[in-house]
A and B are shown apart, each in its own frame.
With several copies, the nearest count.
Chain A
C-alpha cells in the first residue's frame, strides 16, 4: 500500500520532470491544447454575452395598436377591454397622442420637426406587451387587433423578433460547428502527444513488461501526463480567453458611448473557469486513455 502510494507520487514527479526536460515541445503542446480549448470556451462566453443582450431586447415583444383619429373616449375604453381580454397579452399601456408627440420630439433630429408642427398629427395608441416572444403569437394577435373597430393600424415588431431569433440560431449553429471541430482537434492533439510519449519510451515499456510490471503500473504515468497536459492546456485556454475578452472590452469601451449603453463583455465567473479546467483535465485523461489502449498493446516485451 505504501509502495503503491510511493509509486503514484514517483510517477507524477517523473511526469513533471519529463515535461520540464523538453520545455519547447511541452510549451507547443500546451499552446495547441490551450488554443483548441480556448475557442469553444471563448465562443461560449461570447454567446452568453449575446444571449443576455438579446434577452434584454426580446423579453418585451410588443404590438403598437394605433387608433383611428376620430376614436372617442368610449371607443378607446372598448378597444382597451378587448386588448386586455386577448390571450397571450401580458400588459396594455395607453399612449395618448400628446404623450406620443412629446416622445417623438425627444427622438434625435425630430425635435425641430415637431417644433415646426402646427398641430399634433399623431393618433392615440396602445402598446401591447406580449407574454412570450413567439413570432406566431405576434402574427395572430396582429391580425386579431387589426379587425377591431376604430383601430387604424397595428404595428408589430414581430419582424424584429423573427430577425433576432434567426440570428441567434445562426450563432448557435456556428458555435456548435466550432465546438465539434475543436473537440476533434483536441482529441487529435492529446492522442498524438501520448502516442509520441509511448513511442519515445518504447524501450522502457518493453523492459518493464519483462521485469514484471503490471499493466496498471505501465499505464499510470501516461494518465498523469494526459491529465497534466489537459490541466496546463486548460490554464492556457483560460489565459487566452481572459486576455481576448480584456482586449475586446478595450475596443468596446470606445463603442459603448455610441450606443449609450454599457457594452462591456462579462468575464467568465469562477464556476465556469473551474468547469473549464475540470473538463480539460478529463479530456486530457481521455486522450491518454484512448492512446494508451491503442498503442501500448503493440509493444511486445522483446524481439
Chain B
C-alpha cells in the first residue's frame, strides 16, 4: 500500500489563487523521489499538505494510511512525529546551543535523555557539526545552519522525510554529502521526498521525478 497518496487534490489559498489543481500520485514505502517545477509551481504547498500544515480544498491526502485532509487537530502532532521536515526559511532557536537544537524533536516527544543525546550527536556528526555542538546557531554560516536543519529533521528517525530545497545554500561538496545522507536513510527504508529546482541534482541521482507546472502535475 502507498505510504503517501494524493487523489484529485486541489488547494486554493485565501485570495483565490489555485496553487494545486487536481493532483494525484502515490509514493510507495521506501521510495525516494524528487519534486520539481518553476518558482511558484506549488512544490512547498504540496509538502505542506502532507504535513497537515495546510488543508486541501478538495480531494484526499493519505499519509501512513491516515486521512490527513480530515484529521482532528489533536491527532496532527502524532502524525508529524513520523515525519522529518526540512522547510525553506525554517528557524533555528538562537537561545540555545547547536546540540540543544538537534535534541529538540527528541525532547518534544519525551525520549529518555541519554539515548536522545547519543542520537543527536550521531546526527550532528553526519552533517559535520559535531565539533560545533556547544556553539550558538547564530555563529554558524548559512550553509552550516542549513545542515543543522537537516540534522534536526533526521534525528528522530522518521518514516518519511520531506525536504524543501535542502541543498539551496550549500556548495557542491556539502550538497553531495547531504544527498548521500538522504540516500543512506532511504536505503534503510525511509521514504524520502525532496523538492528542488536544481536540475543538475535531479540529473545526477536518477530517481522518480514529480514535475509541477502551475499547480498541475505533468
- Give Cα A6 to B112, complex, Å: 9
**Residues A220-264 near B (CB distance < 8 A):** none
Given contacts A212-B78, A212-B109, A213-B77, contact A206 B138 (CB under 8 A): no
B93→A210 contact, CB < 8 A: no
Residue of A nearest to B81 (CB): A212
> A207-B91, A302-B87 are known contacts. Are A215 and B108 too (CB-CB below 8 A)?
no
Q: How far is the CA of A7 from the CA of B106 in the complex (A)?
A: 11
Partner of A204, one of B85, B89, B93: B93
B80 CB contact (under 8 Å) in A3, A4, A211: A211
Is B74 part of the contact surface with A, judged by Cβ < 8 Å?
A: yes
**Bound: A301/B44 CA distance, A:** 14
For residue A265, CB closer than 8 A to chain B, the reply is no
Please tell me if A289 contacts chain B, counting CB pairs below 8 Å.
no
Q: Tell whether, in the assembled complex, residue A212 and residue B91 are in contact, meaning their CB atoms are under 8 Å apart.
A: no
Known: A210-B51, A212-B78, A214-B74. 17 other contacts (CB 8 A): A2-B112, A4-B110, A6-B113, A204-B93, A204-B95, A206-B91, A207-B91, A208-B104, A211-B104, A212-B80, A212-B108, A215-B74, A301-B51, A301-B53, A302-B53, A302-B87, A303-B89
Decide if A203 is an interface residue (CB 8 Å cutoff): yes
Interface size class of B (residues with CB under 8 A): 20 to 34
Residues of B within 8 A of A51 (CB): none
Q: Chain A: how many interface residues by the 8 Å CB criterion?
A: 23
Chain A residues whose C-beta falls within 8 Å of the C-beta of B112 in the assembled complex: 2-3
Interface positions of A (Cβ within 8 A of B): 2-4, 6-7, 10, 203-204, 206-215, 217, 300-303
> Who on chain A is nearest to B73 by CB?
A215
Residues of A within 8 A of B108 (CB): 208, 211-213, 217
B residues with CB within 8 A of A: 48, 51, 53, 73-74, 77-81, 83, 85, 87, 89-91, 93-95, 104-105, 107-113, 138
Contact partner of B90 (CB less than 8 A), chosen from A10, A208, A302, is A302
**Residues on the A chain within 8 Å of B89, using CB:** 302-303
- Which residues of A have CB within 8 Å of B77? 209, 212-215
A212 to B152 CA separation, bound complex (whole angstroms)? 13
Compute how far the CA of A7 lies from the CA of B108 in the bound complex, rounded to whole angstroms: 9
Can you give 9 contacting A-B residue pairs, CB < 8 Å?
A: A3-B112, A212-B78, A212-B80, A212-B105, A213-B77, A215-B74, A215-B77, A301-B51, A302-B48
In the docked arrangement, what's the CA distance between A212 and B168, Å?
A: 25
Indicate if the CB atoms of B91 and A203 lie closer than 8 Å: yes
CB distance from B189 to the nearest CB of A (A): 20
Hey, which chain A residues are within 8 Å of B105, CB to CB? 211-212
Residues of B within 8 A of A303 (CB): 89, 94, 138
In the complex, what residues of B have CB within 8 A of residue A7's CB?
107, 110
**Which residues in A have their C-beta under 8 angstroms from that of B74?**
214-215
Query: Cα distance A217–B81 when bound, in Å?
Result: 14
Residues in A with CB closer than 8 Å to B91 are: 203, 206-207
Q: Chain B residues near A300: list those with CB within 8 A.
A: 53
Contacts of B85 in A (CB 8 A): 210-211
Query: Would A207 and B94 count as touching, CB distance under 8 A?
Result: no
Task: State how many angstroms separate the Cβ of A10 from the closest Cβ of chain B.
Answer: 8
CB distance from B135 to the nearest CB of A (A): 13
Best-buried of A208, A211, A217 by chain B (most CB within 10 Å): A211
A302 CA / B162 CA spacing, docked (Å):
14
Closest 7 CB pairs of A and B: A3-B110, A212-B81, A212-B80, A213-B108, A203-B91, A211-B105, A212-B77
| Closest Cβ–Cβ distance, residue A210 to chain B (whole Å) | 6
Q: Which residues of A contact B109 (CB under 8 A)?
A: 211-212
**Complex: A126 Cα to B109 Cα, angstroms:** 84
A207 touches B104 (CB 8 A): yes
Residues of A within 8 A of B80 (CB): 210-212
Chain A residues, Cβ within 8 Å of B48: 302
A1 to chain B, nearest CB (A): 9
